[in-house]
Amino acid sequence: MDPRLEKVLKLPAYQRGLILLAFMLAIAGLFVYLLYLPLQEEYAGLEKKNNSLQDKLQEDQRIADNLPKFKAEFEKMEVLLGDALKELPNDKEIPNLLTSITSMAKESGLEVIRFKPGGERPKGFYAEVPVELKLVGSYHEVALFSDAVGKLPRIVNLNNLSLGNPKDVGGRTVLSIDCLATTFRFIEGSVAQVDKKPAKGGKK
């Protein structure tokens, strides 16, 4: 028998118990260090990945559940975009639209002193088409002109309106009026083609 083992066997029972306990603790420590901890770390990583996948699954499910709603909203936005584009004149309509603005000014009783179209300013799928106007007339005639422009089937904004230099002409007060009339032209090919036919009951 190995003298070292024989020496251990001759030790008192409590000492042999302590040696056995230390041996078992060493084995347990090696097990924890070499097997349990790596497995625990791997498990934590898998659990984290599983939670992430569960969250993604729930989000995908939420999107899938709301897909009909999103589709309906998208179709609604397409209709609204189509209606908006119908109010943007194309290249061929711009000259007639600008001519109609001067005609409305004259029909409202205003005298057109200056009519100066400016350069287009692209803004994505549309371009601004500004026109500088210098008019002479009464405040009431300016109000009539603004109202007529607002009722046009195409979008035309009157900005930078300036009234000044009042004068008495033939018993009525006339003003010098400066303003910027801006319409908007749809740029072909900038967005998906939209049905240009006027919607029933819409503007023509």
For the ranges 17-31, 105-119, 142-156, the lowest mean pLDDT is seen at 17-31
The answer to whether 142 and 98 are in contact (CB under 8 A) is no
What are the pLDDT digits (tens) for 49-97?
888 888 888 888 888 888 887 787 777 776 665 665 555 555 555 677 7
- What does the pLDDT read at residue 182? 85
Rounded distance, CA 174 to CA 139, Å?
7
- Cα diameter, the chain: 140
pTM, 2 dp: 0.47
What DSSP line would sit under 63-103, residue for residue? HHHHHHHHHHHHHHHHHHHHHHHHTS--TTHHHHHHHHHHH
